[in-house]
Amino acid sequence: MFYNFASTYTPNVPELLYTLKCTIALSTYQACKVIFISAAGKDKLIQLPRTFDNAMGIARDDDKLAIACKNEVIVLRNSSGLAKHYPSKPNTYDALYLPRALYYTGQLSLHDMNYVNNKLTAINTLFSCISVIDEQYSFKTIWKPGFIDALAPEDRCHLNGMAVTGEKIEFVTALGNTNTKQGWRENKLTGGVIIHLPTGEIVLNGLAMPHSPRVYDNNLYFLQSARGELMKADLKNNKHEVITRLNSFARGMAKAGDYLFIGVSKLRHTDSVFADLPIAGSSFAGIIIVHLPLAKIVGHIRYEANVEEIYDVKIIQGFRRPNILNPGKTEHRMALVNETDTYWAKEEED
């Protein structure tokens, strides 16, 4: 099926991405896509959408990307050598992410993902825990909140986000400290919590659907999604402050230079989870760019059609025009890589 991912953007965005030498990668589970947004020079953006079923969390580690899909996690690796000679568009791309491994997890509703100590680690929202994804099981539990008394496929607290510092998970977000099946739904606007994982202590509470905790320059930031706000935590005093108001349901955040790239979504008015939120009139899906030192919105990318919900946002640093292939793209079967060389195989004739 053909989808038109038409978008508009403020004039400064292409030059900003070009100057930062980076590409935005976003996941949209509603449209089943991972989309790369790159600068084609300093005055134009170009998009590369690829199909990944119910794409949610994205993890990046050096040359690797991992994408959480509906029933599996797909691991990809970059080959810049193959990118240069991409058959249909040679001398166009400076990176090429190819499928390398597929983990069959089942439907775990995996949210934030990161590589932690070289292990692919995911927020397992269905089972209210943090899991390692590998070839042994659907998942291996490495942590669960203290208020969760048993592993069960019940989405008890809607655990969703993780902040990683160095080689450890420092903070996680949940929509409630509840221990019953989808118990978080009863108190969406004031039930959210941030947990300090090393101690298990709830360091902030009373939050409105917190997502995407991130530690930047030794400060903890997060998104208060239900109120459309970028927040900064004051953990010494158990407080938090609004850095800027985004006025849209915010989820997914990444930093490049002094800029935060934040995903915003339309709200499903027919969904009981969203219908009664303070920003229920939001109709903007895309990316909002915040200059962090000044705490000001300086640009945006806005989708005009087919993209309504964004989950994750990552920055692919060092590449202005990367490509990505999903397992369904026939080209990836022709890509051959070993430790020292790369080859594009030729299709055999019948």
Please state, in angstroms and rounded to a whole number, the distance separating the CA atoms of residues 93 and 329: 17
Q: In the structure, what pLDDT confidence band is assigned to residue 1 with cuts at 50, 70 and 90?
A: very low
Asked whether 281 and 297 are in contact (CB, 8 A), the reply is no
**Given this model, what pLDDT does residue 220 score?**
97
Is residue 197, in this structure, part of any structural domain at all? yes
Please state, in angstroms and rounded to a whole number, the distance separating the CA atoms of residues 149 and 159: 14
Q: What is the CATH number of the domain that holds 321?
A: 2.120.10.30
Is residue 297, in this structure, part of any structural domain at all? yes
Which tens digits make up the pLDDT trace of 144-158?
999 999 999 999 999
Is residue 2, in this structure, part of any structural domain at all? no
Is residue 342, in this structure, part of any structural domain at all? no
Is residue 343, in this structure, part of any structural domain at all? no
Which whole number is the average pLDDT over 177-197?
Answer: 96
**Given this model, what pLDDT does residue 300 score?**
97
In this predicted structure, the answer to whether residue 192 has a pLDDT above a threshold of 90 is: yes
**Given this model, what pLDDT does residue 306 score?**
86
Residue 10: closest CA among 317, 287, 277: 287
Please state, in angstroms and rounded to a whole number, the distance separating the CA atoms of residues 62 and 157: 32
Which whole number is the average pLDDT over 71-90?
Answer: 95
Please state, in angstroms and rounded to a whole number, the distance separating the CA atoms of residues 303 and 306: 8
Is residue 18, in this structure, part of any structural domain at all? yes
- Can you give the residue range of the structural domain that contains 285? 7-329
Please state, in angstroms and rounded to a whole number, the distance separating the CA atoms of residues 132 and 138: 9
Is residue 269, in this structure, part of any structural domain at all? yes
How many separate domains does the chain show? 1
Is residue 334, in this structure, part of any structural domain at all? no
Strand ranges of the sheet holding 140-143, from the earlier edge strand across to the other edge: 110-116, 119-124, 129-132, 140-143
DSSP sequence for 139-201: -EEEE--TT--S--SS-SS-EEEEEEETTEEEEEEES----STTGGGGGTTT-EEEEETTTTE
Residue 212: closest CA among 143, 114, 105: 114
Which tens digits make up the pLDDT trace of 25-52?
999 999 999 999 999 999 999 999 999 9
| CA-only gyration radius of the chain, Å | 20
